[in-house]
Amino acid sequence: MTMQLDTPRLAHPDRRAAIGGQVEAAFERVQALYRQLHQFPELPFQEHETSARLAEALEALGYAVTRGVGGTGVVALLRNGEGPTVMLRGDMDALPIEEKTGLDYASVQTAESNSGQVPLMHACGHDLHSSCIVGAAAVMAGLREQWSGTLMLICQPAEEIFGGARAMLDDGLYERFARPDVILGQHNMPALAGTVGHIAGGAMAACTNLAVTIHGAGGHGSMPAQAVDPVVIAAHVVTRLQSIVSREVPPEETVVVTVGKLHAGTQANIIPHAAELEINVRSFDNALHARVVESIERIIRAECEAGRSPRPPEFRVLNETIALHNDAAAVEQVRRAHAEQFGEANLYAMPRLNGSEDFPLFGSAEAGGFGGDDIPYVYWFIGATPAERWAETPGASVSEKMRHLEMPHSPYYFPGNAVTLRTGMAAMAAGALAWLAP
């Protein structure tokens, strides 16, 4: 149904009750969907069953749904008269982790990966995120006489490898559907269930995962002078890289350089022909981040030359994303809406996270490759720890308590309790209405 511009809009005092009523009306269906998604997780760009279930749920609510955007992505539109376009984004992919939550709908799925057959688990709560998208879609459809504009819903694949956002953008997301005026997203965290955390400005780190091959000249371990040992070169690289943070980065900046993988050789008396490294870089400043990556490459080239490497090192970016910087004015608008919905006491100041997301690519014209001006975005955090567990957890602040709780990517992490699911549905809808029914 398309509304007229003179349709009365929902008064703010009534909005909380209206959203809450729609959440309750849709909750059982959304919870069933969540449990189904949790039980049958899929790896990045393999979310065929997941995206089909989400597409069917959105079609049943009356949305115009397109499947297969950027591979397995889903786009759903509800055009409801004149007004702004608000985009809500949720992710869908799971992780190669064996679930140990003990839930009666725990995953027992496995899949083929580069590492062979691996167990699968929604250990980051992407099943929760996509379920909340469907829940918010139900709320907004139920309230469509009270708002005007276009609601654009994104079920994104492959967030865990920073691939899905770019794939959807490269597939013409904004040209084929709509270019949003604001982009909203959320992530679960082990804060108190029922609470919502906000942070303006720098919220999450840029990330680059870099694969490096250091070439040597293999030989017998008893005759090192007739060989070039890539293990020795790699050892110097590992220690020298740590000098970037201590000697090249200003002290007030936060940068992490981690060598997470170092592989060479097959047995003790063989000098291998090459060494393979994988390096993770995180920072909150995109320009500084690029300089750190340049420093890594400079140091590795120099160490290879010093170690008589017969060939230059090879570099390959496995995946990367930019820092997430929430638009301050948009954060304030969302925060006001959430204060009305949940009460000021249920909001918290979210600390900056060194984790990373490909969500900001949707808002960055340069990094996202869509041209024109940047699009403001807000990414907030919903608590996932039940009240009893929260009360018995030591610590005075949110940050202190979270240090003692399972974090995303733990095989024991479970954010999908009923309170968090309801909160996520309502938070998405309230955020959208901040623009569509101000």
State pLDDT tens for residues 328-337. 999 999 999 9
Q: Which of 288, 321, 354 is the last residue of a domain?
A: 321
Same domain, 190 and 219: no
Q: Which helix (H) or strand (E) holds 91?
A: strand 85-91
Same domain, 194 and 229: no
Supply the CATH number for residue 160's domain: 3.40.630.10
Question: Is residue 5 in a domain?
Answer: no
Q: Buried (b) or exposed (e) across 153-185, using 16+ Cβ within 10 A?
A: bbbbbbbbbbbbbbbbbeeebbeebbebbbbbb
pLDDT at 115: 79
Determine what percent of the chain falls in helix, strand and coil, rounding each to the nearest 5.
40, 25, 35
Question: Is residue 1 in a domain?
Answer: no
Residue 5 has pLDDT above 60, yes or no: no
Q: What is the DSSP string of 239-282?
A: HHHHHHHHHTS-TTS-EEEEEEEEEE-SSTTEE-SEEEEEEEEE
Question: Is residue 6 in a domain?
Answer: no
Q: Which of 280, 295, 321 is the last residue of a domain?
A: 321
pLDDT at 13: 61
Same domain, 114 and 31: yes
Same domain, 40 and 75: yes
Q: Determine the structural domain holding residue 127 and report its residue range.
A: 12-204+323-436
pLDDT tens for each residue of 390-418: 999 999 999 999 999 999 999 999 999 99
Question: Is residue 299 in a domain?
Answer: yes
* AA letter at 390: W
pLDDT-based confidence at 12, cuts 50/70/90? Answer: low
Same domain, 40 and 152: yes
pLDDT tens for each residue of 244-277: 999 999 999 999 999 999 999 999 999 999 999 9
Same domain, 30 and 127: yes
Q: Which residues contact 173 (CB under 8 A, 6 or more apart)?
A: 69, 70, 75, 154, 370
pLDDT tens for each residue of 73-99: 999 999 999 999 999 999 999 999 999
Secondary structure class of 432 (helix, strand, coil) = helix
Q: Which of 282, 306, 321 is the last residue of a domain?
A: 321
Same domain, 127 and 240: no
pLDDT tens for each residue of 115-161: 789 999 999 999 999 999 999 999 999 999 999 999 999 999 999 99
* AA letter at 209: N
Question: Is residue 7 in a domain?
Answer: no
Same domain, 123 and 52: yes
Same domain, 376 and 300: no
pLDDT tens for each residue of 208-248: 999 999 999 999 999 999 999 999 999 999 999 999 999 99
Bridge partners of 118, per DSSP, are: 111
Same domain, 329 and 186: yes
Same domain, 119 and 149: yes
Q: How many domains does the chain have?
A: 2
pLDDT at 7: 37
Question: Is residue 2 in a domain?
Answer: no
Supply the CATH number for residue 212's domain: 3.30.70.360
Left, alpha or beta for 56 (phi > 0: left; psi -120 to 50: alpha)? alpha
pLDDT averaged over every residue in the chain? 96
Question: Is residue 345 in a domain?
Answer: yes
Same domain, 80 and 17: yes
Q: Buried (b) or exposed (e) across 279-291, using 16+ Cβ within 10 A?
A: bbbbbbbeebbee
Residue 10 has pLDDT above 60, yes or no: no
Pull the structure tokens for residue 318.
Answer: 């496995």
Bridge partners of 81, per DSSP, are: none
